[in-house]
Chains A and B, each alone.
Chain A
Amino acid sequence: MNIKTKTENSKLSVSISGRIDTVTAPEFDSQVKSKLDGISELVLDFANVNYISSAGLRVLLMLQKKMNKQGSMKLINVNETIVDVFEVTGFSDILTIE
């Protein structure tokens, strides 16, 4: 997994590539969380994420809860495999997916 982040004023864009799983989710969590101070718009680009397991879902849930308190969060470029995982787990109803 690789993570690229870009901050413009209060907007944080995060582009993730690879797998978000038991091994990589802790890094995803800490990389994003450490940059959230003063952020009101979080955009997660999933174009190059080919796989997410429950470890990654837990991070998304936590991030969404945090961003609801300080602004908004959305996921963009989510592929079909990941959309399937979101639908099965009900995450498609609690996340904003564009």
Chain B
Amino acid sequence: MKELTLDAIVDNIEEVTSFVNNELEKLSCPASAKNQIDIAIDEIFGNIVRYAYTPKIGKASVKIDVLNNPLAIVITFTDNGKPFNPLNRADPDVSLSLDERKEGGLGIFLVKKTMNLVDYEYKDGKNILKIKKNLE
């Protein structure tokens, strides 16, 4: 288990991504899975930056666990901000025409479609969002 705690600001998305990518490299993660995980980090950490503490700045932590048989990575994002369950949001209707398409809701939808598990809980004043991606 590895954990990183840092300010929930846009400029830190890159640090979170390289923290996770370092682990993925050790696990010989396929490129497509790595891309999907990087996108998930951008979406989830980006959500924390936008919603958790605004207009203030607070901390967020990112924890990595590796599971075996089958090999999988579990990334847990925790913040102490406002309760916010992104999974409550209705999925966007991806069959709508251009003019009918709304701009929101795509990020978490993309995460749900590309990860093997996405789980949210609000516990002890914390938003805890967990994603799991199988690597084999």
Given the contacts A58-B106, A61-B101, A88 and B39 also touching, CB distance less than 8 Å = no
Q: How many residues of B contact A (CB 8 A)?
A: 28
Does B23 sit within 8 A of A, measured CB to CB? Answer: no
Q: Mark A17-55, 1 if CB is under 8 A from B, else 0.
A: 000011100000000000000000000000000111111
Total residue contacts A-B, CB cutoff 8 A: 66
The digit string for B33-58, where 1 denotes a CB below 8 A from any CB of A, is 00100110011001001000000000
Contacts of A7 in B (CB 8 A): none
Within 8 A of A (CB), among B59-118: 92, 94-99, 101, 103, 106-107, 109-110, 113-114
Report if A10 contacts B (CB, 8 A).
no
Binary CB contact string for chain A from 50 to 72 against chain B (1 if under 8 A, 0 otherwise): 11111101100110110010000
Interface residues of B (CB under 8 A from A): 10-11, 13-14, 31-32, 35, 38-39, 42-43, 46, 49, 92, 94-99, 101, 103, 106-107, 109-110, 113-114
